[in-house]
Amino acid sequence: MSIRRISALAVLMLTLGSTAAAIAVPNPLEPETIAQNQRPNRPAGREGGMFEKLNLSAEQKQQMQAVRDRYKDQLSQRMQAVRQARQELDTMMSGTVNASEIREKHRQIMGLRQQFEEVQFENTLALREVLTPEQRSQFAQLMQQRRQNAKNRMQNRQKPQ
């Protein structure tokens, strides 16, 4: 599986985890606070569509939240480590560091990304266990659609204007 696919899967699983949390636990925040925290250029409620299509039971929603909680800190820590190492690499590239040190930093980043992706994969497997066979099949189709949509967006960004 390519790094792009794994990365896309990672982002999706984070999104799904966030959505599960939003579905399973009522949000005590005021509407103004919620609006401030929404990502720009994203329609409100768009991410909840996948879980709605899967028609999760209340128990499944709780289980999804539990899985999200179990992996949340690990994913966050690993992503932060990747970002920090990437910033260090950027600094090294603009300085006078020799090529072998830069290569070593790049190898470190690749290892950190792999660790992140492994935790994400375990998260995905745990989420999968919550679903019925029918939901798994539907989930796979929805994931394929999202991957295709992401691929199309990437291709559209790369076209010269």
> What confidence score (pLDDT) does residue 161 get?
57
Q: Rounded to 5 degrees, what angle do the CA atoms 85, 21, 35 make?
A: 85
**Alpha-carbon gap, residue 24 to 7, rounded angstroms:** 26
- Other beta carbons within 10 Å of 132: 14
- Mean pLDDT per block of 10 residues along the chain (161 residues) reads 55 51 40 38 48 88 93 96 97 94 97 96 93 93 90 85 57
> What confidence score (pLDDT) does residue 93 get?
94
> What confidence score (pLDDT) does residue 53 get?
85
- Other beta carbons within 10 Å of 17: 23
> What confidence score (pLDDT) does residue 46 get?
41
